[in-house]
Amino acid sequence: MPDFPIRTARLVLRPFEPHDLDDLHAYRSQPEVHRYLYSDAQDREQTRELIAERMACTELTDEGQKGHGRVVGDVVLKWLSEVNRQGEIGYGFNPEFQGKGLATEAAEALLEFGFDHLNLHRIIAHRDPRNEPSWRLMERLGMRREAHYRHNELYKGEWCDAFIYALLEDERAEA
């Protein structure tokens, strides 16, 4: 476990807490937030259950509200393989806070943590090709597109493609 909180210039990354319910539900209840996620818009009880499930995951608060500030998004660094030293990053944001560079800042912090503290060799990200802002972020971070899987899964009633991005520890210095 990291020594929480992880601080960036404008964000505080920390595990979820029960008092995050209102802020998390404010955007997790919006259908457009779930357009590229495997979940659907949530009612308040589903959001409460999500917090309970993810108490060990990381969420974001806005600058100036450190500690018990407003939740503006949630980020995750999944441990995929200890033996192969691989992880995966993901994120979701309240639409009110999109387009402000916060996802970039959070993703950079996750990459740094994964490579420098978890000693990961490779970090990947899956992105829906229709979610251009998200895969453009991966490219800004120096991640390279390794694959474009066509119709690789039935998602919300339609066949969808997936982009796979990756960054190796030795490529990070070049990014």
Question: pLDDT value at position 137?
Answer: 95
Question: pLDDT value at position 62?
Answer: 46
Burial zone of 39 (CB within 10 Å; 0-12 exposed, 13-18 middle, 19+ buried): exposed
Question: pLDDT value at position 32?
Answer: 85
Q: What spatial distance separates the first Cα and last Cα of the chain, rounded to whole Å?
A: 26
Question: pLDDT value at position 38?
Answer: 75
Question: pLDDT value at position 170?
Answer: 94
Cβ(13)–Cβ(58) under 8 Å? yes
Question: pLDDT value at position 14?
Answer: 86
> Which candidate, 77, 79, 88, 96, places its Cα nearest to that of 28?
96
Domains within the chain, CATH numbers bracketed: 6-172 (3.40.630.30)
Helical (H) or strand (E) element with 104: helix 102-116
The token pair that represents 98 in the structure block: 């999109």
Residues 6+ apart with CB under 8 A from 80: 86, 87, 88, 124
Burial zone of 123 (CB within 10 Å; 0-12 exposed, 13-18 middle, 19+ buried): buried
pTM comes to 0.80
Instruction: From residue 8, give the alpha-carbon distance in Å to each of 4, 67, 109.
Output: 12, 13, 7
d(CA 53, CA 20): 13
Cβ(129)–Cβ(162) under 8 Å? yes
Q: What amino acid occupies position 118?
A: L
* pLDDT string in tens for the chain (175-residue length): 667 889 999 999 988 888 999 999 988 888 888 887 778 888 999 888 888 887 755 544 444 334 446 889 989 899 999 999 999 999 989 999 889 999 999 999 999 999 999 999 999 999 999 999 999 999 999 999 999 999 999 988 999 999 999 999 999 877 6
d(CA 72, CA 159): 30
